[in-house]
Structure 1
Amino acid sequence: MVNKMGARQKQLLKLLRGNRTGMSVDELSKGLEITRNAVRQHLASLEAAGLIAAGVTRPSGGGRPQQLYVLTELGQESFPRQYSWLAQLVVASVQREEGAENMRKRLNGIGAGIARQIRSQYPELTTQQEKVQKLAEVMDQLGYNARNATLPGGEAVIEADNCVFHQMAVKDLEICHLDKGLMETFTDTKVEQHECMASGGDLCRFRFLPKKE
């Protein structure tokens, strides 16, 4: 659906995707570098299509409260998730062959296998920082809308706000072990997830810790 829109509307939706609590007309105008009237026209069109909705209002320091706009579920699902359909087939196959008790181990192994194939394309990666930075790029290309971020103490993490397995993860968090296997194998680290969209978080945030000997 996103591919059929104009560039400005795509940018607007992407801004809202990265700000799950919502954005005001003024904030969207600044982010898109267009007039407030132009923003309102795009909002009206996207709201009519069911992709966005008016969210809560926010105090504006003595003036009229600011109306915030958010993505609807349809808006969230309009972004490409390039291999969620394949994962559904994989999960169904694992369940049939192994049963639920072995699901975690098998999904982790599948993710690790994917990581080894991708890592073979980047033999120049040596440090953990290089691997984490490249992993963020790879995940972004796969549709996660992933990016590198830094915690207050300086620790590098990856944040993603378009989980390709979101609908599956809401039903069963075991699917997240495919992602974990991919990330751990790609970076040669132990991955800890400190926020999860499927559990009500605003995004998915991953830390990368040294493996214990």
Structure 2
Amino acid sequence: MSAATLAPAGAERTKTRLLELVKRHGPQTAQDLAQRLDVSVPAARRHLSDLQEQGLLESRTERPGGRGRPQHVFALTDRGEAAFPKTYSSLCVDVLRHIEGLFGGDALLKVLDARNAEIAERLRGDLPAELPLGERVQALVGRLNEYGFDATAEQDAEGGWVFTQRNCPNLTVARQYAQLCSAEITLYTDLLGVPVARDTRIACGQACCRYRVG
């Protein structure tokens, strides 16, 4: 097997190690990461650039310890954080199970409705009613991607809008509580101001969640 054949796998291992270093030590400069990995700074920068394009890292300027000269550092994005194992989903399932057991299904729906209202309040400014529907859909997809949904939008043959989520960050919860998916439909309908219907659902074993708008 040639070195060229091994290179991609080696590059992916290096990227994984870069993410692990940033997770363990916090925001790092390219020079610090190159030193920790024992690679050249240009090589580290190439990997960092790839990770930025994948939405796993972001670059920003910080003063070490709040003092000294500003430095260009790389930090995990929300999507990068999500790449590491979490127990949040199992905790969420436990909490919802206890709410339903103690107070009934209506209480569970009230909790999800309150969550919807909070999310809608955060996103509504990005989707003003005066924008054309297509722009509102695109804006919603952009925000969904910030939350790790790997979403895309397109127009169908009739000129209507369709958007797709190829990842479900809440899959563990959604598989046990279909109410979460129902609440999601309500949220999208509220934000876009038109009916939204789901054609496919990841939680049911399909490849993506696909939504028809209007």
Q: Percent sequence identity over matched residues?
A: 24
**1:145 shift after superposition:** 1.5
Matched, 1:130 2:135: yes
| Greater CA drift, 162-171 or 149-158 | 149-158
Contact 2:166-2:208 within 8 A present in 1 as well: yes
Q: Which has the larger radius of gyration?
A: 2
Matched, 1:149 2:154: yes
CA RMSD of aligned residues (A): 3.7
Question: Relative contact order, CA 8 A, sep 6+: which one is greater?
Answer: 1
Q: Which runs of 5+ in 2 are unaligned?
A: 18-81
Matched, 1:200 2:205: yes
Matched, 1:117 2:122: yes
SS in 2 for 1:120: helix
Report the counterpart of residue 144 of structure 2 in structure 1: 139
For 1:148 and 1:86, the matched residues in 2 are separated by: 32
Matched, 1:38 2:23: no
Q: In 2 relative to 1, CA 198–122 (structure 1 residues): closer, same or farther, beyond 3 Å?
A: closer
| Greater CA drift, 106-115 or 160-169 | 106-115
| Greater CA drift, 182-191 or 106-115 | 106-115
Contact 1:108-1:179 within 8 A present in 2 as well: no
**1:155 shift after superposition:** 2.7
Report the counterpart of residue 104 of structure 2 in structure 1: 99
Contact 1:116-1:185 within 8 A present in 2 as well: no
TM-score where L is the length of structure 1: 0.53
SS in 1 for 2:169: coil
For 2:100 and 2:153, the matched residues in 1 are separated by: 34
1:158 corresponds to which of 163, 175, 194 = 163
Q: Which runs of 5+ in 1 are unaligned?
A: 1-34, 50-76
SS in 1 for 2:207: coil
TM-score where L is the length of structure 2: 0.53
Q: In 2 relative to 1, CA 124–154 (structure 1 residues): closer, same or farther, beyond 3 Å?
A: closer
For 2:146 and 2:91, the matched residues in 1 are separated by: 16
